[in-house]
Amino acid sequence: MHPYEDPPGQARFDLPCRHLSGTCCSVYDRRPGPCAAFRCELLKKFEADKVSANEALERIAEAKTMLDQLYPMVVANGGPITPKRWGILLEAWRSKAAAGTATSEEAHLVLELARLNRFLDVHFRSSDQQVVKQGE
Amino acid sequence: MSNLDPQAENDIYRRTAQLLEADIANELVALDPEQGKCFGFNDVATDVWRKLERPCTFAELKKELLADYDVSDEECANDLRALLDQMRAARLIDRVS
């Protein structure tokens, strides 16, 4: 894993983790403490009885469907789906859009990634982790 | 009651940006290719953006929102004004007095 600083002062590890096998952790029984302690917002809501198991599973299935649909496009554009990668793609598209050289395919990819990230923001990420802000 | 003057109630708002849009339940994400910007609209902003498919007065927008949401006239007017100002600042709409 390669730590990076993004945003400044906030150390993170690059994703995806090399211990990820499909959608499962391959070192689950001896995973690092921060991984074991992590709770996404959906899991917190489920544990607080604010979301039923069925609703939570539906949200996870929706997210997985979106990820599966986007994955080939993202791989073709050079990287995994992470908040950092989203930022890089968005900035690249902004530069091209400003220069008038962005293609409709690139706009489509950015739009679909924005849709995915907004879905993850709403259901899985805490407010300080969200990446699609109003008027970004 | 809203504190807006009658003139402000008759201000007309209209879209100025052509956005690429994608739905997520009641929300919307959108790109403005001309500005190179990405927007996340919550449910109310999505409603207002869709109503602005045709130019609307402030009073028309407020009346429709009051019919859709359980909110006081004053709160609706204040929130709608703030949202329209935000959309204008983002160059998504403009206002014709």
Say if residue A34 is in the same domain as residue A69.
Answer: no
DSSP H/E element including B21: strand B20-24
What is the reported pLDDT for B85? Answer: 94
Q: Please determine, for residue B31, whether its predicted confidence score (pLDDT) is greater than 60.
A: yes
Say if residue A78 is in the same domain as residue A134.
Answer: yes
Say if residue A60 is in the same domain as residue A103.
Answer: yes
Looking at the complex, report in whole angstroms how far the Cα of residue B30 sits from the nearest Cα belonging to chain A. 7
Dihedral sign, Cα of residue B30, residue A84, residue A25, residue A127: negative
Cβ of A110 and B38 within 8 Å?
Answer: yes
Q: Please determine, for residue B12, whether its predicted confidence score (pLDDT) is greater than 50.
A: yes
What is the reported pLDDT for A47? Answer: 95
Number of domains in chain A: 2
Taking alpha carbons only, the member of B54, B78, B53, B55 closest to residue B65 is B78
Please name the residues in contact with B36: beta carbons below 8 A apart, sequence gap of 6 or more: A93, A94, A95, A96, A97, A98, A102
CB contacts < 8 A, A to B, total 63
Say if residue A134 is in the same domain as residue A98.
Answer: yes
Q: Does B22 touch chain A (CB under 8 A)?
A: yes
pTM above 0.80, yes or no: no
Tens-digit pLDDT profile for residues A53-92? 999 999 999 998 988 888 787 777 666 667 777 778 888 8
Say if residue A2 is in the same domain as residue A28.
Answer: yes
Residue with tokens 């802000």, as numbered in its chain: A133
Residue spans of chain A under pLDDT 70: 1-15, 77-81, 133-136
Say if residue A47 is in the same domain as residue A103.
Answer: yes
Instruction: List the domain range (segments joined by +) for residue A31.
Output: 1-38
Say if residue A34 is in the same domain as residue A51.
Answer: no
Residue A112: list chain B partners with CB under 8 A. Answer: 22
More confident residue, B37 or A1: B37
Q: Which DSSP letter does residue A50 get?
A: S
Report whether CATH 3.90.930 matches the domain B6-96.
yes
Q: Please determine, for residue B71, whether its predicted confidence score (pLDDT) is greater than 90.
A: yes
Say if residue A31 is in the same domain as residue A89.
Answer: no
Q: Please determine, for residue B2, whether its predicted confidence score (pLDDT) is greater than 60.
A: no
Phi, psi of A131 (to 5 degrees): -115, -15
Say if residue A68 is in the same domain as residue A116.
Answer: yes
Looking at the complex, report in whole angstroms how far the Cα of residue A98 sits from the nearest Cα belonging to chain B. 6
Looking at the complex, report in whole angstroms how far the Cα of residue B61 sits from the nearest Cα belonging to chain A. 20
Domains of chain B: which residue ranges?
6-96
- From CA B55, how far away is CA B15, in angstroms rounded? 7
What is the reported pLDDT for A133? Answer: 63
Would you state the structure tokens that stand for residue A43, as one six-digit string? 């899991």
